[in-house]
Amino acid sequence: MTKRKKDEDIPLLGGQRSLVQPLSLEELLAKKKAEEEAEAKPKFLSKAEREAEALKRREQQTEERKKVTEEERKKRRMFQDMGRKMMEDPQERERRERRERMDRDNNGNENDDGRQKLREEKDKSKELHAIKERYLGGTKKRRRTRHLNDRKFVFEWDASEDTSVDYNPIYKEKHSVQLYGRGFIAGIDLKQQKRDQSNFYCDMMENRRTLEEKEQEEVRLKKMRKKEAKQRWDDRHWGQKKLEEMTDRDWRIFREDYSITTKGGKIPNPIRNWKEYSMPDHINEVIDACGYKDPTPIQRQAIPIGLQNRDIIGVAETGSGKTAAFLIPLLVWITTLPKIDRIEDSDQGPYAVILAPTRELAQQIEEETIKFGKPLGIRTVAVIGGISREDQGFRLRMGCEIVIATPGRLIDVLENRYLVLGRCTYVVLDEADRMIDMGFEPDVQKILEYIPVTNQKPDTDEAEDPEKMLKNFESGKHKYRQTVMFTATMPPAVERLARSYLRRPAVVYIGSAGKPHERVEQKVMLMGEGEKRWKKLLEVLARGFEPPIIIFVNQKKGVDVLAKSLEKMGYNACTLHGGKGQEQREFALSNLKAGAKDILVATDVAGRGIDIHDVSMVLNYDMAKNIEDYIHRIGRTGRAGKSGMALTFLTKEDCAVFYDLKQAFMESPVSTCPPELTNHPDAQHKPGTILTKKRREETIFA
């Protein structure tokens, strides 16, 4: 049935086509049910149709299988390429990537060539158009008429008539003349010509280099940068490095920073701080408890040497921490011994003997030793004059590990059999030069003869071998005898003593030993004939210096007289000299340290080794007889890193030390030598120098 036929069957109302009514819900459900039943009925297919369907399904499966295989192949290839790139040498990978970039750039250059051709054609067309306008004429733009009231200046030519713009490539790319030698073009800046010439040759050399040369240059620059970075890393300050990163150069700088100089073979490196150095935990705890935050220069170098069982000669200024420098290695060794053996063998004497020239220094060392040794269970006895010998003998019979003594009283105790040195393996001579000056050299030699020679070191290279000495240090009772000597100067008598009793010693110099402290400001006052030192002293004390203050006088009687005069003036003064008893000495020092007394008037007995904290000023009421005693006197101030002042009253009787005193002023960085001392005739030459008169000063008698 045709469409027209269908349209004719639809009835018309009022000349219009009737609307089609939609199916009802029941009809839709019946239609859907019929379609489901039709689909559920089995459909008969012929053999050919079944074969066609099977063939189609097989083709679809084959296509899906090919797709899966192709995807797996792509993934495998990507994985292999990734592994090859990872295994590839970094330089090869960089070279390959550079080639790929160059290939991409070349492809881009081809496109640029096309754009360049279009640009050139455009320029040629513009040039041809300009030639035609010039020779054939063209439509010119009318110039804007200028009103008389318009004050704006108008050029006679148009901007389009500018002849400086040319489309000819010959004029676009100008050739710059490159002159040889010193030739330059006049009228042009010489610096600019040099820059242009340098850039020209650099560009030319860069363009002439091949790819391999550029790669070699990059590799060379990379190696150079790497080397410079390593050099900067190695040249860091030693404080920024770990202990294992320290080089020989760093250790040399470290020693220079702390003014440490050493002599002797195979000397170990110094200590940077307590935590880095491998010492037993109980020793580190005692060091922390005693308030030692950082080691001093002498402790930094002497402790590692002492822990290797080497003999030591320490030349250091007073107040540099020498006591802890020889105590810590001794305590480390004693604590390795079983406590039972120490108690059972106590009748054989102490393990260590420490000799000091004066009672005050011996008591000071005893205080430090008790501070270190008491927490470790180490017993200490001081054998000094002024105390009952029987009491000291009783304490020695009770047993001890360390004996601190003055030479005279120690010989007395040894001769009366109160003490034996059967197991002594550690000998310390503190202030050795002072002991020699006081005439104790025979006593020291006699004491050293009491020590058995069975444990003496061999005078061979074995005494310098760190491994053998360390092994012997840890061997317990079979340890070699170790002798440690500390001194502020090295006179011939001290060197002779060292050669006799020390075996291959390591010599440690700290700072400028035997010279004035760098932190002590020195001043002098030259007294005239009519001037009195007493009035000058009162003027100085009236300036309000912080206590404690030490005043040195040469004679014992002068000490007592000056102290009484100061007490009459209202000052709290105490005295210390050789004529005082031991109890009086201890009482005076304890009062000064506790703050009960402000001023100590003393002789040279207090000039060496006495450590009184925070002494603000040392006043030499009488100048010392020699420069060595003067150095030790002023060393009572400026200790433990603090500053101080030393004032000296000079008279004509002190002219023998003017020259040396002037040299001490010149060597001090914080002191200025006054003109009266600098220009004094006795300060121009050493005492005893024979002066020859110049010929023009000679008197000729006719």
* Domain final residue pick, 460, 490, 510: 510
The verdict on 598 and 663 lying in the same domain is yes
Angle ∠(407,409,410) on CA atoms, nearest 5: 60
**Cα separation of 490 and 261, whole Å?**
15
Q: What is the pLDDT of residues 255-289, one digit of tens each?
A: 888 888 888 888 899 999 888 888 888 999 999 98
CB 600 within 8 A of CB 592: yes
Domain presence at residue 175: no
**Cα separation of 638 and 612, whole Å?**
11
The verdict on 491 and 387 lying in the same domain is yes
pLDDT at 530 over 80: no
**Cα separation of 366 and 381, whole Å?**
8
Domain presence at residue 67: no
Q: How far is CA 10 from CA 2, 3, 29, 396, 459, in A?
A: 13, 11, 26, 145, 141
Backbone φ/ψ region at 581: left (φ over 0), alpha (ψ -120 to 50), beta: beta
The verdict on 337 and 377 lying in the same domain is yes
The verdict on 476 and 358 lying in the same domain is yes
Joined tokens for residue 556: 């014992």
| Sequence-distant (≥ 6) Cβ neighbours of residue 183 within 8 angstroms | none
Q: What is the DSSP letter of 386?
A: T
The verdict on 325 and 222 lying in the same domain is no
**Cα separation of 447 and 470, whole Å?**
27
**In terms of Cα–Cα distance, which of 618, 650, 600 is closest to 516?**
618
Domain presence at residue 352: yes
The type of residue at 285 is E
Q: At what angle do helices 90-136 and 211-234 cross, to 10 degrees?
A: 120
Phi, psi (degrees; rounded to nearest 5) at 448: -65, -25
Q: What is the DSSP letter of 280?
A: -
The verdict on 459 and 587 lying in the same domain is no
The verdict on 338 and 369 lying in the same domain is yes
**Cα separation of 516 and 684, whole Å?**
20
Of 82-91, 134-143, 563-572, least confident by mean pLDDT is: 134-143
Average pLDDT of every residue of the chain: 82
pLDDT at 209 over 50: yes
Of 10-24, 41-55, 285-299, 383-397, least confident by mean pLDDT is: 10-24
The verdict on 491 and 563 lying in the same domain is no
Domain presence at residue 463: yes
Between 258 and 161, residue with greater pLDDT: 258
pLDDT at 624 over 50: yes
Of 100-109, 219-228, 438-447, least confident by mean pLDDT is: 100-109
Mean pLDDT of 49-54: 86
Domain presence at residue 207: yes
Q: Which residues of 39-58 are buried (b: 16+ CB within 10 A; e: fewer)?
A: eeeeeeeeeeeeeeeeeeee
Domain presence at residue 625: yes
User: What pLDDT was estimated at residue 12?
Assistant: 43
The verdict on 214 and 301 lying in the same domain is no
> Read out DSSP for 508-556?
EEESSTTS--TTEEEEEEE--SS--HHHHHHHHHTT-PPSPEEEE-SSH
The type of residue at 538 is L
Rounded to an integer, what is the distance from CA 50 to the centroid of its chain? 92
Q: At what angle do helices 441-450 and 407-415 cross, to 10 degrees?
A: 40
The verdict on 420 and 493 lying in the same domain is yes
Residue range(s) defining the domain that contains residue 599: 520-683
Q: What percent of the chain has pLDDT over 90?
A: 19
Q: What is the CATH number of the domain that holds 283?
A: 3.40.50.300
Pairing of strands 644-650, 520-526: parallel
The verdict on 365 and 489 lying in the same domain is yes
Domain presence at residue 462: yes
The β-bridge partners of 426 are 352, 482
pLDDT at 136 over 50: yes
**Cα separation of 145 and 127, whole Å?**
30
pLDDT at 596 over 70: yes
User: What pLDDT was estimated at residue 511?
Assistant: 73
Domain presence at residue 345: yes
Beta strands in 9-89 (DSSP E): 12-13, 16-17
Q: What is the pTM of this model?
A: 0.55
**Cα separation of 342 and 351, whole Å?**
9
**Cα separation of 642 and 500, whole Å?**
38
Please report which helix (H) or strand (E) contains residue 62, including its range.
Answer: helix 47-87
The verdict on 472 and 556 lying in the same domain is no
Instruction: Give the CA dihedral 77, 81, 83, 85, nearest 10 degrees.
Output: 180
Task: Tell the burial category of 376 from Cβ atoms under 10 Å away from its Cβ (0-12, 13-18, 19+).
Answer: middle
Overall domain count for the chain: 3
Helix, strand, coil shares of the chain, percent, nearest 5, are 55, 10, 35
Q: How far is CA 524 from CA 457, 530, 649, 687, in A?
A: 49, 17, 6, 20
Quick one: pLDDT band at residue 216, thresholds 50, 70, 90?
confident
pLDDT at 10 over 50: no
Between 2 and 507, residue with greater pLDDT: 507
Pairing of strands 312-315, 482-487: parallel
| Sequence-distant (≥ 6) Cβ neighbours of residue 585 within 8 angstroms | 359, 360, 386, 576
Q: What is the DSSP letter of 459?
A: S
3-class DSSP assignment, residue 17: strand
Mean pLDDT of 10-35: 68
> Read out DSSP for 125-175?
HHHHHHHHHHHH--PPPPPPPPPTT------SS-GGG-SS----HHHHSPP
| Sequence-distant (≥ 6) Cβ neighbours of residue 274 within 8 angstroms | 284, 287, 288, 292, 294, 295
User: What pLDDT was estimated at residue 16?
Assistant: 47
Q: What is the pLDDT of residues 534-560, one digit of tens each?
A: 888 998 998 888 889 999 999 989 999
pLDDT at 630 over 50: yes
* Domain final residue pick, 482, 510, 538: 510
Q: Give the residue carrying structure tokens 């009086």.
A: 584
Q: Give the residue carrying structure tokens 């006699």.
A: 446
**Cα separation of 660 and 649, whole Å?**
15
The β-bridge partners of 354 are 404, 428
User: What pLDDT was estimated at residue 13?
Assistant: 42
Mean pLDDT of 685-701: 65
Q: What is the pLDDT of residues 556-592, one digit of tens each?
A: 899 999 999 999 988 999 999 888 887 888 888 888 8
